[in-house]
Amino acid sequence: MMNTPLTLRQLLERPVEYFPDKLIVSRTSQGQFHYRYRDFNQRVNQLAHGLRDMGIKPGDHVAVMAWNTFRHLELYFAIPLVGSIIHMVNFRLFPEQLTYILNHAEDVALFVEDSIASIVEPLISQLPTVDQYIVMGDEYTPEIPGVIDYETLLAGQPDAFPFPDLDENSACGLCYTSATTGNPKGVHYTHRALYLHSLTLCAADVLAMSERDVVMPVVPMFHANGWGLPYSATWVGATQVLPGPHPTPMDIVQLIQGEHVTVSAAVPTVWFAVEQLLAQDPSLNLRTLRTVPMGGSAVPRSFIQHMEHDWGIPITHAYGMTEATPLATYGYVKSAIAKMDESTRYDYRAKQGIPIPGMRIRVARRDGQEVHHDGQEMGEIWLQAPWVADEYYHDDRTSDTFVDGWFHTGDVAAIDPEGYLRLIDRTKDLIKSGGEWISSVELENALMGHPAVAEAAVIAVPHPYWIERPLACVVLKPDTTVKVTAEALLSFIAPHFAKFWLPDTIVFLPEIPKTSTGKFSKVRLREWYHRGDLGTPQPNSL
Ligand code: ADP
């Protein structure tokens, strides 16, 4: 067989050849913008010339701080295709973390969108390796000496760049993931990993993405390659919709309606907010969506069922992480399960799914042996695939996590006889009460099944006798008219759990704090608890 290299270049060349007129639509701070794949390709080539003029070399890390926009997509291709590495920076990190990752990566240049530039300005004196700053958009030009304007960099450049032949195993992307303690950890992606991941994402039993789709990644493009959607969507020539700066739930709804989006992906908290809009205005119609992969944290069964029944929005659980490019399992419904009764089908769809093709999974006991596939025994999820990292970038935490060819995820799960994974918790979030494990995720899912509950997060708090006990933080829906008490919520979930699982305390909050990637921040909740801020009696609490 031919040993053709698996590089991102092929992902760019195909739509230009076969779907040059398909559209890329991008919300920007100036309004909506669209162009065709042929224009996109031309600008990627011009950008490659610009990168060469800047002196960017193969192997250099080039940082990008941007919302999901057409310019970000251009950088997704131009930087890797000249042999450099795109560092997709989570600009919502704290300033100390941002400084840490930009210095740790030794980025040589930083592309920043105008709307984010004010975050960068105060950091500049602490970034010795970054010697070029490029601003995208003209809403705001930061006070940075020698700052380059993105459009000026492209203007007048030739339409074709002689892209070099690249080793498929060379690094082309870099993302940092949060660590339980200490600084974020970096993961390098290779051309080969992104190529194979993009291909698998399009498989029929995964997202089945095709040219006929209109794909909108709401998940930020700095979060684990935008879950792979921008690369796969480009490869198949799908219409792409990039929701731009600060997309509100209404922006998301309007883009789905206006562009007839068929595939969209985001963490559950985004969709919880969208659902509240739908509830307020039943005339909104998102029925063009044919699949909505949702992950990053667990999606309650009740939410999957409600979105499908009431709004015709089919949610599919996707499980993965930064280290796995990110996708590991997908909530594909096997044909035998599709024939089962509705309730059983939803039981399966509430699980995290089965491994996508190419992914090997082991749910391991402490001794490394596989647990029984009985849906009950718990173990840690280990992963192995050509798109799973085998180290953290320049980080001595590598040896704790990557062991004998397996990536140890730190997630605890059970696996059933059909092979469906049920994520029980992150190791660090499990609650150990009197020697027995309690899953915070299962309690949260049950609480969010109550019609008046918008968000629920459960944390372990210290207890003198039981060592740890669950404490639930609950946000009620804004339009809730009935008074919902802690007792009512406990009675609602009680039939599903052993008595000792039930939270000792329910605290009502106006909002659950979120992480930089939009998940419930249990770290912050624990901090609040230890500062005494969660203990103060709330009107509805026990
Ligand atoms: P961070 O840790 O910075 O949030 P990641 O996005 O890499 O970054 O987080 C991955 C983690 O998110 C997984 O290890 C798992 O704990 C959780 N997760 C991802 N997808 C799901 C899902 N579908 N259901 C439950 N938890 C999930």
Preceding omega of 326 cis (within 30 degrees of 0): yes
Closest CA to ligand 1's atom 11? 321
Distance 511 CA to ligand 1 centre (A): 21
Helix (H) or strand (E) holding 306: helix 301-311
Task: Kindly list the domain boundaries of the chain, sorted by start residue.
Answer: 1-245, 430-530
H-only helix segments in 402-485: 440-447
| CA–CA dist 413, 427 (Å, integer) | 10
CA triple 458-516-534, angle to 5 deg: 35
Residue 74, burial from CB neighbour count under 10 angstroms (0-12, 13-18, 19+): buried
Q: Tell me how far apart the alpha carbons of residues 513 and 317 are, in angstroms, rounded to a whole number.
A: 23
Q: CA torsion angle for 482, 484, 487, 489 (degrees, to 10)? A: 110
CA-nearest of 74, 75, 346, 357 to 197 is: 357
Q: Is the CB of 317 under 6 A from ligand 1?
A: yes
Which strands sit side by side in the sheet containing 292-294, from one edge to the other?
Answer: 292-294, 315-320, 327-330, 354-355
Look at ligand 1, atom 9, and give the residue with the nearest C-alpha: 321
Q: Of all atoms in ligand 1, which is nearest to the CA of residue 352?
A: 23
For 542, the 3-state DSSP assignment is coil
Ligand 1: atom nearest CA of 223 is 6
| Shortest-distance atom of ligand 1 to CA 318 | 23
The structure's pTM equals 0.93
Active site residue 380: no
Instruction: Give residue 427 CA to ligand 1 midpoint distance, Å.
Output: 12
- Packing angle, helices 249-259 and 268-280, rounded to 10: 80
CB atoms within 10 A of CB 281: 9
Euclidean distance between CA atoms 82 and 397, whole angstroms: 30
Determine which one of 259, 323, 380, 442 is catalytic. 323
The CATH architecture that domain 430-530 belongs to is 2-Layer Sandwich (3.30)
Q: What are the backbone angles phi and psi of residue 364, rounded to the nearest 5°?
A: -110, 140
Q: Which of 90, 178, 206, 423 to mutate to test the pocket of ligand 1 (most atoms within 8 A of CB)?
A: 423
Q: Which of 151, 222, 135, 142 is nearest to 186 (CA)?
A: 222
- Residue whose CA is at the smallest distance from ligand 1 atom 12: 296
Smallest CA-to-CA distance from 255 within 268, 267, 269, 239 is with 239
Which residue matches tokens 């309650």?
300
Q: Provide the 3-class DSSP secondary structure of residue 188.
A: strand
DSSP state of 522: H
Task: State the Cα–Cα distance between residues 319 and 306, nearest whole angstrom.
Answer: 21
Q: Let me know how long the chain is.
A: 542
Q: Is 298's C-beta closer than 6 angstroms to any atom of ligand 1?
A: yes
Cβ-based neighbours of 335, under 8 Å, separated by 6 or more: none
Q: Which two tokens stand for residue 151?
A: 């459009």
Residue from 352, 357, 379, 355 nearest 367 by CA = 379
**Residue 513 is which amino acid?**
P
In whole angstroms, give the CA distance from residue 268 to residue 519. Answer: 8
Ligand 1 centroid distance, CA of 97 (Å): 19
8 A C-beta contact, residue 128 and residue 103: yes
Å from CA of 164 to ligand 1 middle = 35
Judge if the beta carbon of residue 16 lies within 6 A of ligand 1.
Answer: no
Q: Which CATH number applies to 1-245? A: 3.40.50.12780
For CA atoms 172, 176, 182, 183, give the dihedral sign: positive
Looking at 344, 437, 480, 487, which residue is catalytic? 437
CA of 530 to the centre of ligand 1 (A): 25
Helix residue ranges, H only, 19-85: 37-54, 70-81
Test site for ligand 1: of 175, 187, 227, 297, most ligand atoms within 8 A of the Cβ: 297
Q: Which residues pair with 135 in a beta bridge?
A: 112, 149
Annotated catalytic residue 322 = no
Cα(39)–Cα(68) distance, integer angstroms: 18
Nearest CA-CA partner of 125 in 145, 140, 97, 148: 145
The DSSP symbol for 108 reads S
Ligand 1 mean position to 513 CA, how many Å?
16
Which residue out of 206, 315, 321, 361 has the highest number of ligand 1 atoms within 8 Å of its CB and is therefore the one to mutate?
Answer: 321
Take atom 10 of ligand 1 and give the residue whose Cα is closest: 321
Does the CB atom of residue 514 touch ligand 1 within 6 A? Answer: no
- What are the per-10-residue average pLDDT scores of the chain (542 residues)? 97 98 93 96 98 98 98 98 98 94 98 94 96 90 88 97 98 91 93 98 97 98 97 98 97 98 96 94 95 95 96 97 98 96 97 98 96 97 98 96 97 97 94 93 95 95 93 91 89 94 94 90 92 60 36
**Alpha carbon distance 139, 30 (integer Å):** 8
In angstroms, what is the span from residue 5 Cα to ligand 1's centroid? 31
Ligand 1 mean position to 482 CA, how many Å? 34
Rounded to an integer, what distance in angstroms lies between the CA atom of residue 390 and that of residue 402? 6
CB atoms within 10 A of CB 179: 12
| Per-residue model confidence (pLDDT) at position 446 | 96
pLDDT at 537: 40
Q: Which of 294, 319, 401, 441 maximizes ligand 1 atoms within 8 Å of its Cβ, making it the mutation to test the pocket?
A: 319
At residue 381's C-alpha, the angle toward residues 380 and 384, to 5°, is 140
Task: Give the Cβ contact number of residue 124 at 10 Å.
Answer: 15
List 13, 432, 480, 483, catalytic entry = 432
36: CA distance to ligand 1 center in Å?
Answer: 34
Across 30-48, b (16+ Cβ under 10 Å) vs e yields eeeeeebbeebbbbbbbbb
> What is the rounded CA–CA span in Å between residue 76 and residue 86?
7
Q: Are strands 379-384 and 406-415 parallel, antiparallel or unpaired?
A: antiparallel
Predicted local distance difference test score (pLDDT) of residue 535: 57
Angstrom distances, CA of residue 396 to CA of 106, 406, 472: 17, 17, 35
Q: Which residue owns the Cα nearest ligand 1 atom 19?
A: 296
